[in-house]
A and B are shown apart, each in its own frame.
Chain A
Amino acid sequence: MHEIQSLMAGFAVAMSWFNLALMLAGVSLGVLIGVLPGLGGANGVAILLPLTFTMAQQPGGTTSAIILLSCIYWGALFGGAITSILFNIPGEPWSVATTFDGYPLAQKGRAGAALTAAFTSSFVGALVAVILITFVSPIIARFALRFGPPEFFSVYLLTFSAFVGMARGSPFKTITAMMTGFALAAVGIDTVTGQLRLTFGFESLLAGFDFLIAVIGLFGIGEILLTIEEGLEFKGTNAKLNMKVVIETWKELPRYWKTSLRASFVGCMMGIVPGGATPASFMSYGLAKKLSRDGEKFGTGVVEGVVAPETAAHAAGTSALLPMITLGVPGSPTAAVLLGGLLIWGLQPGPLLFTEKADFVWGLIASMYLGNIVGLIVVLTCVPLFASILRIPFAIIAPVILVICAIGAYTVHNSMFDVWLMVVFGILGYVFKKLDYPMAPLVLALVLGDRAEDSFRQAMLGSQGDMRIFFDNGLVGTITGAALLLLFSPLISRALAIVRGRGGRSG
């Protein structure tokens, strides 16, 4: 059990007052970064990276430096949920799926419950991932090596399949929304040919449509437009304002252990592979809706619909650090910046880091446990405070939200064009709501579209156009098979019903 010994040594490194203070500062800053849409964890960490440079040159300083930066990351993971639930504005890409049930919950006056559920399940997801990192990291690192382009494509296919058929209403509207998302994702440079696509000679379109801008516009601005039309008030004003709500929600949470377990598994897998926290949250939500007993009620404001994406997002976000440490491959944009940080500090992420810099690695792992506990305490004590924001009259809060959205859209690329783009997406979001088009498929296609396309075309390049590569080995075959099964599950269940002679009424 040398892992336990190493971990204890790690705690000894991480548990100094200085490091604990850094954790508190990092987490608080991270929550703030997470709350502001646009200013993502990656940006936040990148901005603070130079500050850690001097710190990292003191003896034992690299551990303190990584503690500060990783705690910003944990904070951002927690914080992303806050605005998703309160205002339907995802603060981070991985909290888009949290809006599906979090926001309806807040509108029902259960914002406190939604926030508590989100924070607690984030913590659970992270804990599972850290335990995994502590005990089985060498095995997992080897697993990640088995992922080539076909495997990645099959994972993305699985995400799409888990999501298809999720939306109520016309399947054609879902398809329209998803295809719009794919079209938007195609704008900009095409990584496989190195050519520009669909920019029509406009320089502003060179960078393509950023997922964050679309999300801020579609969800945030669109929601405000709708609220203005419906009578200038938020519906969640009767939110409870004491800590009792935390305890009450905790009593409810153990009921969803199956969903938590599934979400942790999905999250860890997507983090390690590395697919990232955003697809993990979507896939987990889609699976939970399909497999849960209360699946029908998803989207109307059920706590389980918050548990699923949040657990997966945090599990993925945490386990994304594993491929970074052991392989030098960042599992998320934020991990990419952290990786750059390690190199600047003179550390060499890769297979030997565990043996050569054991105190650094175990200090980091110990700080994952501590940082998440600190984070949970910080955000949970603030639940009543956050929920009480909904008591502020809409006429005051709406302009504030608009300004925050605009700043957020600007910070993504430091470009004024993006702010206008956000407004356009806002109007689109309003029209979508009015015409009852689902927005989630559009967002999903926008965030995963080009990645799925890249891995598909890389796979095709490698196999010289042979589609059988998606069933080439046990791993990719299983994932592709599962994806196809999920994709056609409505048809299959209908066919089964017909065979049993009960007619095709379910649909």
Chain B
Amino acid sequence: MKRRTYAKSLLAAVIASAFSVLTPALAWEPTKTVEFIVPAGTGGGADQMARLVQSIIAKHNLMKQSMVVVNKGGGAGAEGFLDVKGAKGDPHKIIITLSNLFTTPLATGVPFNYKDLTPVRMLALDQFVLWVNAETPYKTAKDYVEAAKKAGPGKFKMGGTGSKQEDQIVTVALEKQTGAKFTYIPYKGGGAVATQLVGKHIDSSVNNPIEAVAQWRAGNLRPLCVFDDQRMPYKAKITKDMSWNDIPTCKESGVNTDYVMLRGIFMPGGVTADQVKYYVDLLEKVRETPEWKKFMEDGAFNQTALTGKEYADWVAKAEKLHEGLMKEAGFLAKK
């Protein structure tokens, strides 16, 4: 008896899959409004990207149902991740990540992990650049680090967004590689950090390109190096004589540090492969629009965009990296 039911359901599955090949209309698609969670406040980098995706989807009619962006930034993003973790099996919810996917559970002990979520796809990687005030004499990252070392531990101030989050992790990685010691001062937003650097309240920052580009073009800030293993590909001139591509990697300038931040999409756990595929395809269409391409270039993003197993492997590796760096810095939550 049991055997027969099995055979029957197998038959049903074969027929169903045959149908799904023949008529793509049967593939899963949202049946109600999709909630797009941003585990950060309004106005920041993740929020901008989420709202851009929402705008592009609406403008090009890429989805029959509508999409709403919901900010759940409490507890350094824990609020948003716990919300998605709790929505097991709900295919009408997606979340965009910052590095807080890794750093927040490690630093605060709030119980969630990327393994509670289903990886959908990487959208891009956000770059970090070492910036100093343009009036300072430092021309290369090496000059700057040497000066920081010479001044003594804690004398140079590094400003960044948040505490025990990506900006401080980059700082820690930099310290580990070079032996320089900075006093890290956490601020609430990237724009504020750039302004503090222009006002000389701090000595350097590791702002994302988009956060500091306006001040660079105005001649107030100077980029020293990018924390990636290769230069940014954008060759259009940003200032009179420099493009993003002209900024050396930190490795090239003798400071062997790299770090990129994941801008990826996840779904709750327990969703079907069909449902994941829907969002993978949807976001692929978003990535092909001219609006998206312009946004990538404006923000000098690294356009690596993995899917499937490669994406999952990348995420697993990134978690290891964060755990290692945070452990060494003593940032892990006490159990």
A: which residues have CB within 8 A of B?
42-43, 46, 49-50, 53-54, 144-149, 188-196, 199, 203, 206-208, 323, 327-330, 333, 336-337, 339-340, 343-344, 346, 348-353, 413-414, 454, 458, 461-462, 464
- Point out the residue from B48, B164, B194 that lies within 8 Å of A343, measured CB to CB: B48
- Point out the residue from A344, A349, A350 that lies within 8 Å of B295, measured CB to CB: A344
CB pairs A–B below 8 angstroms (25 shown): A43-B42, A46-B51, A53-B291, A54-B59, A189-B75, A189-B108, A191-B162, A194-B107, A203-B79, A206-B75, A207-B75, A327-B195, A328-B191, A329-B189, A330-B191, A333-B41, A344-B52, A351-B218, A352-B218, A413-B72, A458-B186, A461-B184, A462-B157, A462-B183, A464-B183
A195 touches B107 (CB 8 A): yes
**Chain A residues with CB under 8 A of B110:** 196, 203, 206
Whether B327 sits at the interface, judged by CB under 8 Å, is no
**Chain B residues with CB under 8 A of A328:** 191, 194-195, 211, 214-215
Chain A residue nearest to B58 (CB atoms) is A50
Whether B188 sits at the interface, judged by CB under 8 Å, is yes
**Chain B residues with CB under 8 A of A464:** 154, 183
A352 touches B217 (CB 8 A): yes
B108 touches A346 (CB 8 A): no
**Chain B residues with CB under 8 A of A50:** 51, 54-55, 58
B195 touches A329 (CB 8 A): yes
Write the nearest CB–CB distance from A68 to chain B, whole angstroms: 14
Q: In the complex, what distance in Å separates the CA atom of A462 from the CA atom of B155?
A: 9
Max chain B CB contacts within 10 Å: which of A189, A203, A208?
A189
Q: In the complex, what distance in Å separates the CA atom of A450 from the CA atom of B48?
A: 25
Whether B74 sits at the interface, judged by CB under 8 Å, is yes
Write the nearest CB–CB distance from B17 to chain A, whole angstroms: 37
Chain A residue nearest to B297 (CB atoms) is A346
Q: In the complex, what distance in Å separates the CA atom of A146 from the CA atom of B195?
A: 10
A351 touches B215 (CB 8 A): yes
Chain A residue nearest to B164 (CB atoms) is A194
- State which residues 109-132 of B face A: CB under 8 Å: 109-110
Max chain A CB contacts within 10 Å: which of B74, B82, B194, B196?
B74
The 9 closest A-B pairs by CB, nearest first: A350-B214, A207-B74, A336-B43, A206-B75, A148-B201, A194-B163, A194-B164, A351-B218, A53-B55
Write the nearest CB–CB distance from A196 to chain B, whole angstroms: 5
- State which residues 137-165 of B face A: CB under 8 Å: 154, 157, 162-165
Write the nearest CB–CB distance from B88 to chain A, whole angstroms: 16
**Chain A residues with CB under 8 A of B186:** 191-192, 194, 458
A350 touches B108 (CB 8 A): no
Whether B228 sits at the interface, judged by CB under 8 Å, is no
Q: In the complex, what distance in Å separates the CA atom of A3 from the CA atom of B185?
A: 39
Write the nearest CB–CB distance from A253 to chain B, whole angstroms: 36
Q: A53-B291, A206-B75, A333-B41 are in contact. List 19 more A-B contacts (CB 8 A).
A: A50-B55, A53-B59, A148-B196, A148-B199, A149-B201, A188-B75, A191-B163, A194-B76, A194-B163, A194-B331, A206-B79, A207-B75, A328-B195, A328-B211, A330-B189, A333-B43, A351-B218, A413-B79, A458-B185
- Point out the residue from A148, A149, A337 that lies within 8 Å of B43, measured CB to CB: A337
Chain A residue nearest to B76 (CB atoms) is A189
Whether B260 sits at the interface, judged by CB under 8 Å, is no
**Chain A residues with CB under 8 A of B78:** 189, 203, 206
**Chain A residues with CB under 8 A of B202:** 462
Write the nearest CB–CB distance from B258 to chain A, whole angstroms: 22
**Chain A residues with CB under 8 A of B41:** 333, 336
A340 touches B51 (CB 8 A): yes
Whether B4 sits at the interface, judged by CB under 8 Å, is no
Chain B residue nearest to A210 (CB atoms) is B74
B192 touches A329 (CB 8 A): yes
A196 touches B42 (CB 8 A): no
Per-residue contact bits, chain B 65-106, to A (CB 8 Å; 1 contact, 0 not): 000011111111011001000000000000000000001000
Q: In the complex, what distance in Å separates the CA atom of A413 from the CA atom of B75?
A: 13
Whether B314 sits at the interface, judged by CB under 8 Å, is no
Whether B213 sits at the interface, judged by CB under 8 Å, is yes
Query: Contacts A329-B195, A458-B187; is A196 near B55 (CB within 8 Å)?
Result: no
- Point out the residue from B48, B185, B189 that lies within 8 Å of A462, measured CB to CB: B185
Write the nearest CB–CB distance from B187 to chain A, whole angstroms: 7
**Chain B residues with CB under 8 A of A194:** 76, 103, 107-108, 162-165, 168, 186, 331
A46 touches B214 (CB 8 A): no
A461 touches B185 (CB 8 A): yes
Write the nearest CB–CB distance from B251 to chain A, whole angstroms: 28
